[in-house]
Every structure is written in structure tokens, then in C-alpha cells.
Amino acid sequence: MAKARYHHGDLPRMLVEAAIVHLKDHDASTLGLRPLAKAVGVSEAAPYHHFADRRAFEHAVMIEGYALLRARCLAVAPQSLRDLLDAYVGFAVEHPNLFRLIHRSGEPRDPANAALAAASEAAFAPLLAEVRRRAQMAGVCEADRIGFLALMVWTQVHGLAEVVISDFLRLGADGASFRERAYAYIEAGLRTGLTAD
């Protein structure tokens, strides 16, 4: 990676962007501030003016990952639930290591990680909005029920994404048709959930 000129305030962004690029071909366990500092052309000590430690840096990368996932989903919303599901799985396929990093722990659920929690909720918001829209059409208005159904849809599509990126089923050329069948199944399950007493 070519060394770039930067202003002091740009370094956090440069390091996060370098990490996103790094994760295209490497597992998150290989993320390190020192190698990334070298990649962007600054001293090994420079990142620590902005990030207290590796965990703080990983949180910044995760926040960016959630933002990219949200943007991917917003690009198709509110066209259809199927499009949102495909956007989610498509993000996982294109960024498997980043996808696994942002979902590897319950840290975004920890109130101590407010920025991370907000980024996670923002990434979930397009799916929640689509489920809420469908619920309103079905005459369902209970917030708890809508939230639960959205969580169940997410659970299924997240599991599907993991199966796809791990190639667990060795689907090969049948992968696209399997995904389409899975999307239809998830959508049918939501319809059932919205009409059940």
C-alpha cells in the first residue's frame, strides 16, 4: 500500500479503512495497529494517540463495518424483504471476515459500548422498519411482537449467511437457488408470524 500524506485528524479514518482492506483477505485475528501504521506510512506509535488499545481500534472497525452493512441494506430498502435479505447475505459474502468480526461477540449489547451499540442498532434498523411496515399492513401494532419477529427474521438470515460464507453445505452451482428458497421460506415464516393469534 502506498504511503499517503495525512492530517493528524485523518489518521483514525485511514487506519480503519486500511483494516477494512486488510480484512478482505485476512482473518480478524491478524489485525494489528503496528502493521497497519506501517501500511499507511506512519510511526508505530502514532495510532495510540487515537486508540487506547487494540480493542478500542477493533470497536472502530466494527462501527465502520456496521455502517457499511447499513448502507448496503438501505440501498435496497424499502423495495422488499427479499432484497434486504439478499443484501445482508451479499454483504457477508463480500466481506466475510468483517462480517464475522462485527458479530463475533455480544459487545454491541453491552451498555458500556454506547457507540458500538448505536452502530449495531442502526444496521438492524432497515430490517426492523420493513417488518414494521409489513406488520402495519397486517394490522399488527404491538411493538414487542414486531421487534421479536424482526429478531427472528434476522436470526434466520444471519444463520443463512454463515452457512453460505463457510460453504458448509457445498452447494456449488446450486447456491443461488438455495438462497432464493431460503429467502422465500423466511418471508413465509414472517407472514405466518404476523397472522398467528
Cis peptide before 111 (omega within 30 of 0): no
Neighbours of 109 (CB within 10 A): 10
Q: How many residues does the chain have?
A: 197
Contacts by 39-47 with C-beta closer than 8 Å and gap 24+? 39/1, 40/1, 40/3, 40/4, 40/6, 40/11, 40/14, 40/15, 41/2, 41/3, 41/4, 41/6, 42/6, 42/11, 46/11, 47/11, 47/15
Q: Can you give the pLDDT at residue 25?
A: 93
Cα separation, 55 vs 28, in Å, equals 12
Reply yes or no on whether the pLDDT at 48 is more than 90: no
Q: Can you give the pLDDT at residue 88?
A: 97
Packing angle between helix 175-195 and helix 143-166, nearest 10 degrees? 170
Name the residue with higher pLDDT: 2 or 168.
Answer: 168
Q: Can you give the pLDDT at residue 69?
A: 98
Rounded to an integer, the average pLDDT of 26-51 is: 88
Task: Note the pLDDT tens digit of each residue in 95-114.
Answer: 999 999 999 888 888 888 99
Q: Can you give the pLDDT at residue 9?
A: 60
Q: Among residues of the chain, what percentage have pLDDT more than 90?
A: 73
Task: Note the pLDDT tens digit of each residue in 121-152.
Answer: 999 999 999 999 999 999 999 999 999 999 99
Cα separation, 14 vs 48, in Å, equals 14
- 2 pLDDT band, cuts 50/70/90, is very low
